[in-house]
Amino acid sequence: MIPPPHSISLTVVGNGRAGSSKSMLIDTGVCRYLVNCGESTQRVLAEYRMKTSRIQHVFLTRMSWDCTSGLLGVALTAKAAGVKKLTIHGPTELEHLMQLTRPFTDCKTTDIVMSEIHKKCYTDDAFRVQSFQIFKPTNVNEEPVYKRRKENLGNVSESSVFIYYFQPFRTRRKLIMSKFNEACIPA
């Protein structure tokens, strides 16, 4: 078992403004986790020389073009970089998208796996990741808010959003006994 990482860095890859989608990269030094993978994610990663070779997990917050449009490009880049396994965490509808893109990303070197994080927590050497699914009711009507009546509220569809809680494991601290002896602290 690999010990927990000593440092974890979080990089905002895109903030959602003008030509970039909302995404972030979590780096532990051993593995990288990408949260959301929009259209320009791969370009921004290459522009700032953030290697995609250690991205092993992609967490998607919802099934929308803003969050999933760069997934195929990242999967192909992971394949070219020699990543053995790319795990994708997200909504259950994502499996259908992966089946549609499977002919483009399928190869013998990279195994693209769908996770069922919504059923149980994901745990590895660095994190325990728990997902929470929230529902946002959206009204389908095109009428302005002031013209809507209460009877129109029955025509409401729900769109789900996943929230991920990354809980890092604590590292064991090393005690230097000679420093204790120098400071006259009983150990």
Q: How confident is the model at residue 133 (pLDDT cuts 50, 70, 90)?
A: confident
Overall average pLDDT of the 101-110 stretch: 65
Q: Which of 63, 70, 67 is nearest to 133 (CA)?
A: 63
Q: How far apart are CA 73 and CA 114, in angstroms?
A: 17
131: β partners: 164
Q: What is the mean pLDDT of the chain?
A: 80
DSSP annotation of 175 reads: P
Rounded Cα gap, residues 126 and 73, in angstroms: 26
Full DSSP string of 16-40:
SSTT--EEEEEE-SS-EEEE---TT
pLDDT score at 151: 45
Q: Return the amino acid letter for 96.
A: H
User: By C-alpha distance, which of 92, 114, 89 is closest to 166?
Assistant: 89
Taking a C-beta distance cutoff of 8 angstroms, is the pair 88, 98 a contact?
Answer: yes
What pLDDT sits at residue 107?
Answer: 58
State the pLDDT confidence band at 153, using cuts at 50, 70 and 90. very low
What is the C-alpha separation between 160 and 94, in angstroms, rounded? 12
Reported as a pLDDT band with limits 50, 70 and 90, residue 141 is: low
Q: Determine the pLDDT at residue 156.
A: 35
pTM, to two decimals? 0.76
Q: Domain ranges in the chain?
A: 9-182
| For range 174-180, the mean pLDDT | 81
Per-residue pLDDT at 58:
93
Specify the CATH number of the domain 9-182: 3.60.15.10
pLDDT of residue 106: 63
Q: Is the pLDDT of residue 143 over 60?
A: no
The tens digit of pLDDT for each residue in 14-71 reads 888 877 789 999 999 888 999 999 988 888 888 988 888 889 999 999 888 889 888 8
In terms of average pLDDT, the best of 130-134, 143-147, 170-174 is: 130-134
